[in-house]
Amino acid sequence: MNTYNVNEKGYYGDFGGAYIPEMLYPNVEELRQSYLEITAQADFKAEFDQLLKDYVGRPTPLYFASRLSEKYNTKIYLKREDLCHTGAHKINNTIGQILLAKRLGKNRIIAETGAGQHGVATATVCALMGIECIVYMGELDIKRQAPNVARMKMLGAEVRSAQSGSKTLKDSTNEAIRDWINNPVDTHYIIGSVVGPHPYPDMVARFQAIISEECKTQLQEFEGRDYPDHVIACVGGGSNAAGIYYHYLDDPRVNIIAVEAAGKGIDSGESAATSALGKEGVIHGSKTLLMQTPDGQITEPYSISAGLDYPGVGPMHAHLYRSQRAEFVSIPDQEAMDWGLSLSQMEGIIPAIETAHAFALLDERKFEPNDVLLFNCSGRGDKDLETYIDYFKL
């Protein structure tokens, strides 16, 4: 069968693998050998399901957006990941990884964060389990996502500023990897998206797959069928997208659409639209598409949303793009910001700026009245209020 999922060697088509320094080999190999076995154990599943239900608040609702549907003359559903505890889908993954880390006997957790959502989700599960937590965050992101920095500190995490390069997500990831090299025995690295060396992309996708698993049941109730015609998500590294695509990857009835951040425009030199601007290469231990100079130096991406400000995409998405299984679209800052306002005023939902990019697709494409559109509403906009205030002079 043609599958768009990972193969046993850790590749999605040509992409993926584990291009890591030897110093990381024992850690990554330990994970590779154990993640499937541990996550299949009955006690792991029971604890994971229980926490998702009682602590995260799952299942998250599927909401039929009637005013939006009417305006665009099509059927629009929102998967409400913004209602998860801590405000985004990121916590599905951190719950899974903290349970795994405990079973591997690790007592120190490190993470990288861009928007701070993954940092908060990691700090939260570390507080929940009483485990030490260190979050690397780019100096620039620390400034533009101040509320999340404060939340991480309240939760007892140490936030370390990444000073190198563009001082954003790419650089905080470098710092987290260097920390792991220096602390190989007691530390687990909770990566926040479907990026990094195998098995991370697959492991994170599996933890996020709960999103599309729930959608199947919920769509069945609304529509009498368990699949949409189009499934749409924003892509930074690609974890919320991987989660909502997961159970539809090999279903040809479902059109997959990925929305990237065009920043100030694809040709402006200030963009994060990896599919349009990237070439095959190796970043953070994975062979994937990434933005780089002809000489192979990784370039600094730009987006108004910190969570999409990454020069690569996960290997699953690189493969979806290369194989043309998914359609890739990119949305500039301004349209995304306008959609932050539109969704607020038409549906009473203030989205994260990352999430707002996905909805901007509605102005780019025409859909049929009977089409069922499934949007991942990946996060809420509380963390972005300062950016919204500045932008709209609120």
Ligand X SMILES: Cc1ncc(COP(=O)(O)O)c(C=O)c1O
Task: Indicate whether 23 belongs to the interface with other proteins (CB under 8 A).
Answer: yes
The token pair that represents 81 in the structure block: 């990941």
Q: Which residues of 225-241 are buried (b: 16+ CB within 10 A; e: fewer)?
A: ebbbbbbbbbbbbbbbb
CB 112, CB 228: distance < 8 Å: no
Least distance in Å: CB of 204 to ligand X? Answer: 8
Using CB under 6 A as the binding criterion, the count of chain residues that bind ligand X stands at 21
Residue 380 CB neighbour total at 10 angstroms: 21
**From the list 201, 238, 278, 285, which residue makes contact with ligand X (rule: CB under 6 A)?**
238
Helices 25-40, 200-208: inter-axial angle, 10-degree rounding? 30
Q: Does residue number 277 form part of the binding site for other proteins (CB under 8 A)? A: no
Binders of ligand X in range 308-367 (CB under 6 A): 308, 352, 354-355
Convert residues 185-204 into a mask of x (bound to ligand X by CB under 6 A) and - (unbound).
--------x-----------
Confirm or reject binding of residue 381 to ligand X (CB under 6 A). Answer: no
167 in active site: no
196 binds, among other proteins, ligand X, none (CB under 5 to 8 A by kind): none
For this structure, is 90 an active site residue?
Answer: yes
Q: Binding marks (x or -) toward ligand X, 117..156, rule CB under 6 A?
A: xx--------------------------------------
Contact call for residues 199 and 358 (beta carbons, < 8 A): no
- Asked if 279 is part of the footprint of other proteins (rule: CB under 8 A), the reply reads yes
Spacing of C-alpha 41 from chain mean position? 25
Largest CA distance in the chain: 56
Site string for other proteins, 154-193 (x = CB under 8 A): ----------xx----x---x--xx--xxxxx--------
With binding defined as CB under 8 A, does residue 261 bind other proteins?
no
- 1 vs 7, 8, 21, 250, 268, CA distance in Å? 12, 14, 34, 9, 41
Q: Which does 181 bind (CB under 5 to 8 A by kind): ligand X, other proteins, none?
A: other proteins
Which residue of the set 75, 79, 81, 90 is catalytic? 90
Which phi and psi (to 5°) does residue 96 adopt? -60, -45
Residues 6+ apart with CB under 8 A from 218: 59, 61, 62
Q: Is 116 in the site for other proteins (CB under 8 A)?
A: no
Nearest partner of 260 among 283, 285, 281, 278, judged by Cα = 278
Shortest spacing between CB 376 and ligand X, in angstroms = 8
Contact 376, 241 (CB under 8 A): yes
Helix (H, G, I), strand (E, B) or coil at 76: strand
Cβ-based nearer residue to other proteins, 26 or 269 = 26
Q: Is 335 a catalytic residue?
A: no
Please say whether the beta carbons of 212 and 244 come within 8 A: yes
To other proteins, the closest distance from the beta carbon of 294 in angstroms equals 7
Quickly list DSSP for 168-235.
Answer: SHHHHHHHHHHHHHH-TTTEEE---SS-SSTTHHHHHHHHHTHHHHHHHHHHHHHHSSS--SEEEEE-
157 touches ligand X (CB under 6 A)? no
Q: Among residues 74 and 274, whose Cβ is nearest to other proteins? A: 274
Q: Which of 81, 112, 260, 335 is catalytic?
A: 112
117 interface partner picked from ligand X, other proteins, none, CB below 5 to 8 A per type:
ligand X
Q: Which of residues 283-322 bind other proteins (CB under 8 A)?
A: 283-285, 292, 294-299
- The torsion of the CA quartet 218, 242, 383, 86, rounded to 10 degrees, works out to 60
Q: Which of ligand X, other proteins, none does 381 bind, CB closer than 5 to 8 A by kind?
A: none
Considering the rule CB under 6 A, would residue 80 count as an interface residue with ligand X? no
CA–chain centroid gap for 40, Å, is 23
Q: Which positions lie near ligand X, rule CB under 6 A?
A: 88, 114-115, 117-118, 193, 234-241, 307-308, 352, 354-355, 378-379
The residues assigned a catalytic role are 90, 112, 378
**Contact residues for other proteins (CB under 8 A)?**
17-23, 25-26, 164-165, 170, 174, 177-178, 181-185, 279-285, 292, 294-299
